[in-house]
Amino acid sequence: MERIPILKMGDCLLVSIQVDMHDRLAITLQEELTDRIVAARARGVLIDISMLDVVDSFIGRMLGNIASMAKILDADTVVVGMRPSVAITLVELGLSLQGVRTALNVEKGMDLLRGSMEDVSEGQDAGTPA
Amino acid sequence: MPAHLPDQILVRSSEDLVRVRQAVRSRAVELGFSLVDQTKIVTAASELGRNMLDHGGGEGTVSLEMLTAAGRHGLRLTFEDKGPGIPDIDLAMREGYTTKGGLGLGLSGSRRLVNEFSLVSRVGEGTKVTIARWR
């Protein structure tokens, strides 16, 4: 069966979407990703869409759903690598990807995820009685 | 016209939408569309194709037509279904309006991505959306 690989890097999961998505593939990805977040105790999810030459409202909704599901499972999501032509088209289409954090590339995305994890752990440390 | 680039594509599943996107993309490339223009017409095609699946009785056809007028080149796409039709077109065109839990961007959004847009719908007979984008 066709599927999108999910790689583990430390406490982050890395997904690179390299094929044109149809519905079944999108649903499989959502299910596998949520399973892996729990199994790997992941705190961050990085989704690379640099290979996608089109993001329509279906894919936009899927990215938003993944981010919401991950959030409930206590993991942050960052979408990276959006092509400029895709960004222009998304804005004209009226899709602002609300609730989805983005970064320019994988490196900046990882920085963003690590930063938000550190914020959380510092916050927890501060709350712990000495 | 090469055999792998049909003029008409039957859309019955989201896998067919992948074929629609590929066909529209290769036509747009052939016509010399810029990358942004390619992306816009492919995205509009994807939205309107999905509308046929979600609202047009789950099936429809997409016709692709290359245009030349006054030295300009363009691409015209026609989406035709025999679904229930749209009772209130003004309402359906409104941004954010949805009957099936989508984002409500399909019609209003794809209209912004093209140069020409027309919608004809008869309740109980079907819907026909025609778009064109010029180079």
Of the candidates A20, A23, A57, the beta carbon closest to that of B109 is on A57
| pLDDT given for residue B1 in this prediction | 45
Is residue B27 assigned to a domain?
Answer: yes
CB contacts, 8 Å: B25 with chain A: 53-54
In a domain, B1, yes or no: no
Residue B96: CATH number of its domain: 3.30.565.10
Nearest beta carbon to residue A57 from set B21, B103, B112 = B103
B3 belongs to a structural domain: no
Interface of B with A (CB under 8 A): 13-15, 17-18, 21-22, 25, 35-36, 38-40, 42-43, 46-47, 50, 95, 102-103, 105-106, 108-110, 112-113
Whether the Cβ atoms of residue A19 and residue A59 lie closer than 8 Å to each other? no
Q: Tens digit of pLDDT for each residue in A7-17?
A: 999 999 999 99
Measured CA angle at B63 (ends A57, A19), to 5 deg: 40
ipTM: 0.89
Structural domains of chain A in order of their starting residue, each with its CATH number: 6-125 (3.30.750.24)
The three-point CA angle B121-B18-B59 to 5° equals 35
Is the minimum CB–CB distance between A93 and chain B shorter than 8 Å? yes
pLDDT tens digits, B62-100: 999 999 988 899 999 999 999 999 988 988 888 888 877
Indicate the number of domains in chain B. Answer: 1
**What's the pLDDT score for residue A123?**
61
pLDDT at position A116: 84
- Look at B71 and A43; give whichever has higher pLDDT: A43
Question: How close, in Å, is residue B72 to chain A by CA atoms?
Answer: 22
Domain around B28? 8-134
Sign of the Cα pseudo-torsion (B107, B54, A60, B28, in order) = negative
Residue B2 belongs to a domain = no
What does the block give as tokens for B7?
């003029």
Q: What is the pLDDT of residue B2?
A: 46
pLDDT tens string B37-60: 999 999 999 999 999 999 999 999
What integer is the mean pLDDT of A118-126? 67
Query: What pLDDT is attached to residue A1?
Result: 64
Average predicted confidence (pLDDT) for chain B: 91
